[in-house]
Amino acid sequence: MESTYNLQSTPKGYVLIINNETFTEGDYEKREGSERDYDDLKCLFRGLGFKCRSYYNLNYKDFTKVVRSFALMDDHWKVDCSILFIMTHGHKDRVNPHAVDLATTDNKFVSTDWIKEKFNSENCKPLMNKPKIMFFQACRDNGHSQMLVKRPKRLHAQDGAQPHISDLLVIHSCLPGYGAHRNSKYGAWFVQELCSVIQQESSNMHLISILNKVDMNLRQRFVKENGSCFQAVYFENWSFNKLLFLSDEAQGFHRAVTTMLEMSNKKRKLRKKPPASKPLMITKGEVKKALTGRYGVLGRLK
pLDDT digits (tens, 9 = 90+) for 281-294: 666 666 566 556 55
Confidence class for position 37, pLDDT limits 50, 70, 90 = very high
- Mean pLDDT in residue range 161-182: 88
Closest by CA to 142, choosing from 183, 180, 110, 176, is 176
Percent of the chain with pLDDT over 70: 74
pLDDT at 27 over 60: yes
Confidence class for position 26, pLDDT limits 50, 70, 90 = confident
Alpha-carbon distance 208 to 9, whole Å? Answer: 21
Tell me the Cα Rg of the chain: 29
Strands (E), the chain: 13-19, 51-56, 81-87, 90-92, 100-103, 109-111, 132-137, 149-150, 168-172, 182-183, 187-188, 234-238
Closest by CA to 193, choosing from 170, 174, 179, 177, is 174
Confidence class for position 159, pLDDT limits 50, 70, 90 = very low
Residues 6+ apart with CB under 8 A from 286: none
Q: Is 247 exposed, middle or buried (0-12, 13-18, 19+ CB in 10 A)?
A: buried
Higher pLDDT, residue 252 or 173: 173
Closest by CA to 111, choosing from 92, 131, 124, is 92
Alpha-carbon distance 246 to 173, whole Å? Answer: 19
23 DSSP assignment = -
Alpha-carbon distance 205 to 250, whole Å? Answer: 7
pTM of the model: 0.81
* Cα–Cα–Cα angle for 113, 115, 118, rounded to 5 degrees: 110
Alpha-carbon distance 69 to 53, whole Å? Answer: 11
The DSSP annotation for 53-119 comes to EEEES--HHHHHHHHHHHHT-GGGGG-SEEEEEEE--EEE-SS-TTSEEEEPTTS-EEEHHHHHHTT
Alpha-carbon distance 206 to 250, whole Å? Answer: 8
Closest by CA to 132, choosing from 143, 141, 122, 124, is 124
Please count the other Cβ atoms lying within 10 Å of the Cβ belonging to residue 176. Answer: 14
Cα 87 versus chain centre, distance: 17
Q: What are the backbone dihedrals phi and psi of residue 270, each rounded to the nearest 5 degrees, phi first?
A: -80, -15
pLDDT in tens, 197-231: 999 999 999 999 999 999 999 988 866 665 567 88
217 DSSP assignment = H
CA distances from 111 to 70, 117, 142, 153 (A): 17, 10, 14, 12
- Mean pLDDT in residue range 250-256: 68
Q: For residue 42, what is the enclosing H or E element? A: helix 34-47
Torsion of CA 247, 11, 6, 119, to 10 degrees: 110
Closest by CA to 127, choosing from 2, 17, 13, 49, is 13
